[in-house]
């Protein structure tokens, strides 16, 4: 099978997984706790939440940045570790301490001249509902709150913290013909 047929086969197989025209997606926004990290997080003796991160998510996030997708972190949490981790992957739009997420999302979309149909948002709990209703592709992890699952256009096969970003980004980049692009794929 030649490379072009392989790509077409993968696009066909992946197209059935997410019921949305992924070629429209220009920006993806992620919540942190319950999406990029598991819902259960250990506490340091000082009281600081200690989040796990997924290495495959990290690879996909930095690859998406290299391909020009607009990525943002939008979370109610506010710890330096979030800035370090996601800033280190090339994400420059990191919004922490967001008690009301919709106004922040709207400002981010205006900053990057994005329309709702060009944006995916991944959220797992009640504070994400308004934002999920505002974008073209609302996505929820497999273990999201029922209210989020009900408004999600796609529910990943992954639980929060276990490859949610990788699943979505890989699907988007494959649909856009950018997955395994040799210029960016084989390095960090």
Q: What's the whole-number mean pLDDT along residues 148-163?
A: 97
- Per-domain residue ranges of the chain: 3-175
Mean pLDDT of 101-126: 98
Is residue 16 packed enough to be buried (19+ CB in 10 Å), middle (13-18) or exposed (0-12)?
exposed
Assigned CATH topology for domain 3-175: Rossmann fold (3.40.50)
pLDDT in tens, 43-95: 888 888 888 999 999 999 999 999 999 999 999 999 999 999 999 999 999 99
| Stated pTM of the model | 0.89
pLDDT average, residue stretch 95-102: 96
| For range 3-24, the mean pLDDT | 64
**Closest C-alpha to 46, from 6, 79, 84:** 79
Complete DSSP assignment for 3-72:
HHHHHHHHHHHHHTTS-S-GGG--EEEE-SBTTTB-S---B-TTS-B-----HHHHHHHHHHHHTT-EEE
Q: What's the confidence (pLDDT) of residue 181?
A: 78
Give yes or no for residue 137 having a pLDDT over 90. yes
Q: What is the pLDDT of residue 49?
A: 83
Residues 6 or more apart whose CB falls under 8 angstroms from that of 68 comprise: none
Contact yes or no for 102/59 (Cβ under 8 A): no
Cα 141 to Cα 66: distance, rounded to the nearest angstrom = 24
Nearest C-alpha neighbor of 101 from the set 133, 76, 138, 135: 76
> CA 156, 24, 69: angle at the middle one, nearest 5?
75
53-67 pLDDT, tens digit per residue, is 999 999 999 999 999
N-to-C CA span, the chain? 29
Name the average pLDDT for the chain.
91
10-14, 125-129, 146-150, 159-163: segment of lowest average pLDDT: 10-14
């Amino acid at each position: 099978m030649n490379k072009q047929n392989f790509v077409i086969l993968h696009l066909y197989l992946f197209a059935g997984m997410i019921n949305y025209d992924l070629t429209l997606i220009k920006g993806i926004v992620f919540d942190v706790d319950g999406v990029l990290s598991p819902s259960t997080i250990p506490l340091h003796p000082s009281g600081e939440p200690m989040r796990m991160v997924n290495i495959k998510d990290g690879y996909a996030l930095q690859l998406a940045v290299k391909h020009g997708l607009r990525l943002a972190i939008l979370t109610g949490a506010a710890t330096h570790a979030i800035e370090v981790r996601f800033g280190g992957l090339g994400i420059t739009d990191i919004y922490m301490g967001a008690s009301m997420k919709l106004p922040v999302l709207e400002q981010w979309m205006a900053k990057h001249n994005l329309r709702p149909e060009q944006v995916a948002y991944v959220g797992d709990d009640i504070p994400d509902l308004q934002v999920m209703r505002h974008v073209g592709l609302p996505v929820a992890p497999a273990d999201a709150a029922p209210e989020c699952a009900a408004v999600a256009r796609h529910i990943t096969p992954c639980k929060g913290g276990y490859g949610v970003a990788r699943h979505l980004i890989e699907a988007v980049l494959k649909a856009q013909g950018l997955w395994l692009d040799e210029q960016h794929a084989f390095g960090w």
